[in-house]
Amino acid sequence: MALGADLSGFYALARREPGLAELAAKFKGVRPPRFPTIFEALANAIACQQLSLTVGIHLLNRLAARYGPRLATGTGAPGFPTPEALAGADPHELRPLGFSRAKAQALVGLAQRAVAGSVDLGALQLMDDGAAVAALSRLPGIGRWSAEYTLLRGLGRWHVLPGDDVGARNNLRRRFGLVAGAGYDEVKQLSQRWAPYGGLVYFHLLLESLGDQAGPK
């Protein structure tokens, strides 16, 4: 998480748009979350593809329980599995955890590539958005949504709003009037009005949606 992120520019932008100002005030002080490694961001993207966030998190919790590191005492929640831990897994072992065959193969394959050095995830840091999306999309099981999600959550590129995210489209429609049936290009065009903070808007909308689902306390 970018605890030291300077969000003054985002709040200044938000003050100029009533809908965004209300949203920013509702979650004032929230910092943009980021996974500790690009591998973990990619694994999360694979797990959550075409699923609700809740279901995706359940899959990831089961994955961590099976393959994640634990304290020597054996107490506490497990950490997220390392590439080395998953590289030696048989994709069939992930099926009882709830992963589809394709997702299991993509996860194990990604881990094996990372361990073997045939994919350099660290090199993504030096690429611009287009080159990074192209490089990620060459990995089995990684499409445009997963690539942009990784830019946002793994590389900390807070300007990226994943344009294929169905939940984000619904949230944008509800609060900012995105037209029904809008696709990737329309989402990207709308997000430009919040540049370079489209990803921060994405996070705030997600928090609002999760709060609505939880209901009144």
pTM of the prediction?
0.92
The span from the CA of 118 to the CA of 213, in Å, is 41
Q: Which residues contact 121 (CB under 8 A, 6 or more apart)?
A: 37, 38, 39, 42, 114
Closest CA to 37 of 70, 73, 85: 85
User: CATH code for 38-153?
Assistant: 1.10.340.30
| 8-32+160-214 and 38-153: identical CATH topology | no
Instruction: State both tokens at 111.
Output: 């881990």
Structure confidence at residue 1 (pLDDT): 56
Q: What is the dihedral of CA 121, 122, 125, 127, to 10 degrees?
A: -60
Instruction: State both tokens at 100.
Output: 């589809």
Closest CA to 83 of 63, 112, 125: 112
Q: What is the DSSP letter of 17?
A: S
Per-residue pLDDT of the chain (217 residues; tens, 9 = 90+): 567 788 999 999 999 999 999 999 999 999 899 999 999 999 999 999 988 889 999 999 999 999 999 888 777 789 999 999 999 999 999 999 999 999 999 999 999 999 999 999 999 999 999 999 999 999 999 999 999 999 999 999 999 999 999 999 999 999 999 999 999 999 999 999 999 999 999 999 999 998 877 555 5
Give the gyration radius of the chain's Cα atoms.
18
Structure confidence at residue 162 (pLDDT): 97
Dihedral sign (CA 167, 155, 48, 57) = negative
Instruction: Check if the beta carbon of residue 63 is closer than 8 Å to that of residue 69.
Output: no
Q: Where are the domains of the chain?
A: 8-32+160-214, 38-153
Structure confidence at residue 216 (pLDDT): 56
Structure confidence at residue 75 (pLDDT): 74
Structure confidence at residue 4 (pLDDT): 78
User: CATH code for 8-32+160-214?
Assistant: 1.10.1670.40
Instruction: State both tokens at 138.
Output: 């060459």
